[in-house]
Amino acid sequence: MAKPIRKQARKSEQKHRSLISEPLPLGRENYFILGAGILVIVAGYLAMLEGSVEGFLPLVLSPILLVTGYCVVIPIGIMYRKPAPKGPAVPESLGQA
């Protein structure tokens, strides 16, 4: 007598297949924005390397660059999506037959 196939095994197999076949959630534009964010963060850390303790770069510019990179550019790079292409608009007078 054959063993019955469990439904859970089928569901997990289908879930695994769907995860493999789905495209990556981030597009090319996202990676460019994330790269720009990393460059802004690196620039912020490089501004901190200036030798003076009370200079403009380490006290003012560096925190601005780091906060901008971590809190603005990186989240935009993660959440950005291309706008959907707009189809041909149907005039309202034609749509109300």
Dist CA 29 CA 15 (whole Å): 28
Per-residue confidence (pLDDT) for residue 70, from 0 to 100? 97
Task: Average the pLDDT over 21-31 and give the result.
Answer: 84
At residue 23, the pLDDT reads 74
pLDDT of residue 83: 83
**What does the domain layout of the chain look like in residue ranges?**
25-81
* Residue range 45-61, pLDDT digits in tens: 999 998 888 899 999 99
Closest residue by Cα to residue 70 from 26, 36, 29: 36
- Rounded to an integer, the average pLDDT of 21-46 is 91
81 backbone dihedrals φ, ψ, rounded to 5°: -135, 145
What tokens does 93 get? 């007078």
pTM here is 0.65
Indicate the average pLDDT of the chain. Answer: 82
